[in-house]
Amino acid sequence: MLNFKEIFSVSLILFSVIDILGSIPVIIDLKKRTGVLRAAQATLVAGLIMVAFLFAGEGILKLFGLDTSSFAIAGALVIFFLGLEMILGIHFFKGEVAGNGSSASIVPIAFPIIAGAGTMTTILSLRAEFNQISILIAILLNLILVYFVLRASGWIEKKLGQAGSDVLRKVFGVILLAIAIKMFRTHAGV
């Protein structure tokens, strides 16, 4: 039997960790650089990553001799470099966003922005507390929202305008840096 309260709780937790609304400046910036954003592809890949991590995450980390803290620190470093890109206007992910934008839908949109270290670590934590069916439904609900935000990125960009987009990108770049530093400090014991 479905527990709607549990589904709602897990959905809210994942929504806050995925933070697709806070990722809009990154998405707009990548769309500008690549000229295209494949919302369905990014959503599908992110969903596959999350579901795979729900069922096999701990095993995958153990296979490589990793713990969740090491994984979270690696994710924090990727988020840190994304923040630097947004603030400084330099591009660390040059190879990822060149060409037709296909790989830009996967790196860094699907991973690590949507299904990053924070999301995957949270999924592992949720597994200890909640029913797997509730987690799967919550993942699906969040992916639906992610898809619509990705599809609406062009409309959002037009509403913001160039100046609004630039300001938002710099502000969220600083926020990404702060999130990365917090993740690093939390998991590195600093």
The DSSP string of 43-112 is HHHHHHHHHHHHHHHHHHHHHTT--HHHHHHHHHHHHHHHHHHHHH---S-HHHHSTTSHHHIIIIIIII
User: How long is the chain?
Assistant: 190
* pLDDT value for 75: 73
Contact indicator for 48, 143 with CB cutoff of 8 Å: no
- Enumerate residues 6+ apart whose C-beta is below 8 A from 161: none
Would you list the domain boundaries of the chain? 22-29+37-188
* pLDDT value for 142: 97
* pLDDT value for 160: 82
Contact indicator for 125, 136 with CB cutoff of 8 Å: no
Q: Tell me the per-residue pLDDT of 12-68, one tens digit each, with 9 for 90 and over.
A: 989 888 888 878 888 888 888 787 889 999 999 999 999 999 999 889 889 999 887
* pLDDT value for 97: 43
Contact indicator for 103, 96 with CB cutoff of 8 Å: yes
Segments in the chain below pLDDT 70: 93-104
* pLDDT value for 154: 86
* pLDDT value for 94: 53
* pLDDT value for 93: 58
* pLDDT value for 185: 86
* pLDDT value for 139: 98
Q: How far apart are CA 143 and CA 70, in angstroms?
A: 26
* pLDDT value for 135: 96
| Tokens linked to 166 | 């630039």
